[in-house]
Structure 1
């Protein structure tokens, strides 16, 4: 059997022993773990504390709409990065004041108007945004100017370095309402060289601003920090090799209807993450801070920031939600289809499990709830089907090996789904309701399950009955 064993946080694993509790609030359901979220916050804080650089941590709200996560961020004393009016209102309701709110992403007139009234820091994407802030502001608004780096893949966000002088002109023309707090970038990549090059470019912008009498003091390096998904990286690599062998016709096929997952002639870029990654988000942060800057005589990033009294801001989202959520689904039925493959149909759609068009290459946890004597104890390779009336709705298009074939009513739990997976579904188009979300809080050996409103749903010990 080819396994894709997932990494599972101890608190999550503890709850997974309670199939009765997991099934008590119906399926499908999303379960978030605010305590795990807080542990991730502390891990970033501990890493930053090793460097004598002033810094601020912001939770990127867009990764999950969970009220529990937003409240956990507020209670932890960090900031929040919002990208819509709805997220802004959510943050304010959770107790964030203006000093702890930053707005990123593309912003229309209504959002900018709200931000100028709130007093949040506006991470300006383009010249129009900056002039609109100046037009509607009735008091000084702190702004960052977002750079679109020239190195690597072009981003749709930010302003090219060549366009920055015009933004600085606008700030100088409206100094009474535009307070230049600093510069920022966000790269949708884990390439260390690209991030270091972007920091170098931002430092050039600092020098330009200083020369014009401005006093920027913040460098915001965005988010995109890694998660660790797999418990067995070598097992993941073995699965990928077996998948390729199946595509080449030299071994059993592990893909539905010959899906190549982006491979061409066994090369190409696969449509799934590097699940064998073992470096955490904080490992990546240390790499950045320790990296030499070519434009600064090879001195490390942290040293340059310290010497120039520049405050470091960062906006991790998925790294703070790492291991902090699961999606619980139920088995509807099983059957053999025309290609003689076994299909396990679930009460959930693909886009509630897989973000965008990416395949999630992790085995779920199956909780068998029927009488053990009624199962055929033989390993079986299956495909998981979704509940939409669409041919393309396969939850996984790669084969998953199970200890035994599940039965209707059994639970299939997809782990580590809190980041960008729980809230980006289009299934409502077929009138399926949104998947409800609850929070699991462990205390003194017991789990308390709370609806996102905070109302206690049930309280029960973690040990099996």
Structure 2
């Protein structure tokens, strides 16, 4: 039996798969709006949010979900978040404008990241919650507040035991200075509590950070402060692969190829962060995030249920509830997981002098992945139906809800509305290829690892890169050679058909199946955390 070729099958949400399977709808979208294009799926976002809420509801804690806007500039996602009643985390003046324009009031806006003085002045004027990054920010807020209403503030903390040094947050060793500032400026600052962000998949690091913040809550009471919020940040991972065993098999074959065994699998001897020494491959590759198989909701569930030794083995959720602390969190990747894809056309296929097969797309590498990462899931190739005159789609028909094509929305035909169009026979046989971008740069390889396809692609075929909504679409999209940025479109399934909107024009209807916004009940008397018992005490 012949061993299967190395493959990296992508996990794809059923709604996204259904749209891609409606080939005529995909073709019509690219004909109308151009290629390449980013497609976002607000209904998948809403489903992810529903799962997050379910975990938090089961835990019994009071909570606030703040969507991390920086993960994607999509207005459709921001409007979906606002309509669902959650809060938003913004990190720039433009993101703040975006949030306000989408309907968020100041009570539902938190601002994170480093901030300059002009931005701080605007935030104080707006009355939003400021997640303070450093002591300079905290001091400047006290000076700028003046006679305004008290400025709501969280204090971001860093420097936890056994955690990598971070450029963000106030180090634990400087907390005495922070407490002095907070205590001396109670009339200017409404101190809400502590925050942290751990950019790691290690659950033990998060538990240590939570325990350290709970100790800070105890110290805050000693300074006459009354914190009520523990913000555990974001960093909840995505699941990219649909088959962990095949992912592991591909990585094994790749490592073997780096040692000169078997077929070459990397462009220009790219090692992806590995280093080869003494006949072995060492190190952590740049694509390590793609190996994750733990859903974000399970990460959150495990974190809330983690026992805290310093608190008698009670769980994180129990300690937070007992002490009337609201859990805030800032998911970004987890809410847009599987809620976006990027589609581009094949411009041509060429064979290089050494037999390498290159598939050129009308797309650039950094429009689907940050430059220092590698997309370790296989793109999907959709054979074009536009190779014969009869296959060209006609004008889009009105949707069943009466919406006409135009004004930002295109109702699309379903698969049953048109007969499949035959295409010329493909060149048979599997083929290993590299996908190349459109820039005149050697480094513009969209995949530096070899991708095996069942057949050689052709000019005009569509290539779909799954799960690109989290940072991949916007973090470093290139405009070199004056190429315009890809269009961003929102795809929804309504009244039995798919409809495509310009992202800026999308408006959510009442989300089916989403619970109403969680209302925080009135507070009772606050229970102070029990002081840590001295060593050796009975």
Determine if the TM-score, normalized by the shorter chain, exceeds 0.5. Answer: yes
Provide the residue aligned with 1:55 in structure 2: 63
Structure 2's unaligned 5+ residue stretches are 388-421, 508-538
Return 5+ residue gaps in structure 1 as ranges. Answer: 457-465
Residue matched to 2:154: 144
1:97 to 98, 101, 105: 105
1:232–1:276 contact (8 Å) kept in structure 2: no
> 1:445 aligned to 2:492?
no
Q: Which residue of 1 aligns with 2:215?
A: 204
Number of paired residues?
Answer: 456
Q: Secondary structure at the match of 1:245?
A: helix
Which segment drifts farther, 133-142 or 63-72?
133-142
Q: Greater shift after overlay, 307-316 or 165-174?
A: 165-174
Q: RMSD of the TM alignment (CA)?
A: 1.3
SS across alignment from 1:5:
coil
Q: How does 1:182-261 map to 2 (within 5 A)?
A: 182-261=193-272
Deviation at 1:285, TM superposition (A): 0.3
Distance 2:495 2:254 in 1: 44
Deviations 1:86-123 (A, max 9, x none): 00110011111111100011111121111111111100
Counterpart of 1:14 in structure 2 is: 18
Q: In the alignment, which residue of structure 2 is the partner of 1:377?
A: 428
- For residues 452-463 of structure 1, the aligned pairs below 5 Å read 452-454=503-505
Q: CA deviation at 1:426?
A: 4.5
2:130 corresponding residue in structure 1: 122
**2:474 corresponds to which residue?**
423
Aligned to 2:397: none
Q: 1:268 aligns with which of 273, 280, 283?
A: 283
Q: Corresponding residue for 1:462?
A: none
Partners of 1:149 and 1:201 within 8 A in 2: no
* CA positional deviation for 1:217: 0.5
Shift, 1:338, TM fit = 2.5
Task: Find the partner of 1:325 among 318, 340, 345.
Answer: 340
Pairing partner for 2:43 from 27, 35, 50: 35
- Measure how far apart 1:430 and its partner are: 2.9
State how far apart, in whole Å, the 1-side matches of 2:283 and 2:443 are.
Answer: 23
Stretches of 4+ moved more than 6 A in 1?
none
Counterpart of 2:438 (choices 387, 399, 420) is: 387
Q: Higher mean Cα deviation, 66-75 or 288-297?
A: 288-297
What is the SS of the residue equivalent to 1:69?
Answer: helix
Q: Tell which deviates more after alignment, 59-68 or 145-154.
A: 145-154
1:133 aligns with: 141
How far 1:452 sits from its partner (Å)? 1.7
Q: Kindly name which structure, 1 or 2, has the bigger radius of gyration based on alpha carbons.
A: 2
| Whole-angstrom distance in 1 between the partners of 2:238 and 2:142 | 39
TM-score (normalised: structure 2): 0.83
Please identify, of 16-25 and 428-437, the stretch whose mean Cα deviation from structure 2 is larger: 16-25
Q: TM-score when scaled to structure 1?
A: 0.96
C-alpha separation in 2, matches of 1:165 and 1:455 = 48
Find out whether 1:301 has 2:307 as its counterpart: no
